Amino acid sequence: MDVAESLSVAKTLKYYARFEWGAATREQYLRATPSFNGKSWYDHLRYHGDNGEVRWGEDRLVLRRVGRSRAGCAVVVRRMCVVAPEPGCVLTSHGCQRLGWHFDTPDATWPTVEVVDVGRLRRLEKIVPDWGDLADRHGLDVRPSKKLVSAVEFRRERFFVNAFYPWTSRPAVGDH
């Protein structure tokens, strides 16, 4: 393989998270691997799009180097977008943002994937499945790792940004 065609990847990326409420930056480790101690681990993150807008996504690959480039690291992200909340949802009433997968076009088969430079990363985000929605479709015994993965399922999946998680909802102790 020609060096110009080579790709260097990693399972983990250490970076410095930035918090919108003004807390001091903190080291965080972003993981993207099909096998970490025997199980897959793909973190969710908050980042800025090309135009500066806030975006969410799931980290799928950490790029260390493409070809001979020594430019900074980047992350391949499967994008998420804001979707309409369910009326009367208790999580929405407590500030949890509802998300779904982002698609480039209405007839796209799979969610949008984009390469995000490490400088556009904000922080890890605790994103959890919308269990009510998932159970309505697959029954009460469903687990996200056991559900079918298909283009139809990607379009129907819903998630919540967990506003109760420490780095999501409030500054750490001592950051006031």
Model pLDDT for residues 49-96, shown as the tens digit of each residue: 989 999 999 999 998 776 666 566 889 999 999 999 988 888 888 888
Residue 44: burial class (beta carbons within 10 Å; 0-12, 13-18, 19+) = buried
The answer as to whether 115 is a domain residue is yes
Model pLDDT for residues 137-148, shown as the tens digit of each residue: 878 877 766 556
Classify the phi-psi angles of 59: left when phi > 0, otherwise alpha if psi is within -120 to 50, otherwise beta: beta
Question: 9: closest CA among 57, 61, 60?
Answer: 61
Write out the residue range of the structural domain in which residue 26 sits: 3-169
The answer as to whether 174 is a domain residue is no
Structural domains in the chain (count) = 1
